[in-house]
């Protein structure tokens, strides 16, 4: 099922909106954990500009993809992804600050601290590489 996922500030969990023709935009589920395949990181610039102007949060950033039960073996290691409207107009890889526009798999979950976490696999078409120490 194709969905758009966003962090719900009021419920402190993720909301899933349908992206199917018959019920497009309807919130169909709230969850603390979801895995998406063929995901795209979407930021609506008009909503971001409203946040910057009014200093009041609104729903304008989503991860869109197909829900699946697990991450495929071909995905490689994960990288942490985040979004902050005050830092820029796109999701980004936390370690490098590089923009993230799509991923083969994305895992969205609530951490033990109760904060949202986004882990992405094969970002922007490239298998994620981990830096290995020199031996």
- The pLDDT tens digits of the residues spanning 12-60 come to 999 999 999 999 999 999 999 999 999 999 999 999 999 999 999 999 9
CB 3 within 8 A of CB 16: yes
pLDDT reported for residue 133: 43
Task: Determine contact, residues 3/39, Cβ cutoff 8 Å.
Answer: no
What is the 8-class DSSP label of residue 126? B
Q: How far apart (Å, rounded) are the C-alpha atoms in residues 84 and 89? A: 8
Spatial distance between the Cα atoms of 126 and 3, rounded to a whole number of angstroms: 23
Which CA distances in Å does 97 have to 34, 56, 65, 91, 93?
24, 24, 22, 9, 5
Segment 84-106, tens digit of pLDDT: 999 999 999 999 999 999 999 99
| pLDDT number for residue 86 | 95
**Residue carrying structure tokens 């820029």:** 88
Distance (Å, whole) CA 9 – CA 100: 22
Residue spans per domain, the chain: 2-123
Q: Is the pLDDT of residue 127 over 90?
A: no
């Amino acid at each position: 099922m194709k969905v758009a996922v966003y962090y719900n500030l009021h419920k402190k969990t993720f909301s899933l909106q349908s992206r199917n023709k018959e019920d497009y935009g309807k919130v169909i589920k709230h969850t603390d954990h979801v895995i998406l395949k063929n995901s795209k990181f979407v930021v609506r610039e008009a909503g971001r500009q409203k946040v910057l102007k009014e200093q009041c949060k609104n729903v304008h950033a989503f991860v869109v993809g197909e829900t699946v039960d697990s991450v495929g073996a071909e995905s490689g290691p994960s990288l942490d992804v985040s979004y902050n409207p005050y830092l820029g107009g796109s999701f980004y890889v936390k370690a490098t600050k590089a923009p993230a526009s799509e991923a083969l798999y994305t895992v969205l979950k609530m951490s033990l601290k109760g904060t949202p976490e986004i882990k992405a696999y094969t970002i922007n078409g490239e298998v994620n590489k981990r830096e290995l120490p020199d031996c």
